[in-house]
Copies of this chain bind each other. A is one copy, B any other.
Amino acid sequence: MPKAAPSPSSDLQPASWEREVRRFIDAGGNTTHAFGLGRLIGRMFALLYLQPGPLSLEEIAARLDISKASASTTIRQLEEWHAVCHRPVEGDRRDYYEAQTDFRVIVKQGLLPGIRQKLGSAGTQIARTLDAEVSGSGQHSASQHPDEIKIIRKRLKVARDLHAKLDGILSSRLLDHFL
């Protein structure tokens, strides 16, 4: 193999396509980053999504210009999100990965559970605070009138109910309809 270029596929037309792919990848990274998921996870998924066939870990790292270490940890995240499939290739010991192209799978098995988990701890704390509020009614500071205590309790209940409703929606199959 006389090829030494970092790009695995030999391109006759350096063209704008490669540049566009790079843009696409970065846009993916910015998107996931905007939602608090880190930039690499989006960049990597974008790369795999535009890749018709599976890619090895090293190729991924080369394409994204990151270390093998980062590629390893990030691909694991993508697997947790069900956004990527591990695809064994015969006669090759290396790990090959392919993008999950059915977004319903990603949403239902990755996104929604992830969101639910994040909301979960919030809900736990709301319940806990509400409990402390109710059981220790006389424990508030002297400056707080009974009216104010009532307001607080009301608000906590509203928060609790909202959380419960949200969690219900996210865990039900209601959203399937829209995807």
Is there a chain B Cβ closer than 8 Å to A169's Cβ? yes
* Interface residue tally for chain A (C-beta within 8 Å): 59
Is there a chain B Cβ closer than 8 Å to A129's Cβ? yes
Question: In the bound complex, do residue A23 and residue B139 qualify as a contact, i.e. CB atoms below 8 Å apart?
Answer: no
Interface residues of A in 122-154 (CB under 8 A from B): 122, 125-126, 128-129, 132-133, 136, 138-144, 147-148, 151-152
A126 / chain B contacts, CB cutoff of 8 Å = 24, 27
A-B contact pairs, 29 of them (CB 8 A): A9-B141, A9-B143, A10-B143, A12-B141, A12-B142, A13-B140, A13-B142, A15-B140, A16-B132, A17-B132, A17-B136, A17-B140, A17-B141, A18-B141, A20-B128, A20-B132, A23-B128, A24-B125, A27-B121, A27-B125, A31-B119, A31-B122, A33-B36, A35-B118, A36-B37, A50-B129, A52-B151, A103-B162, A165-B179
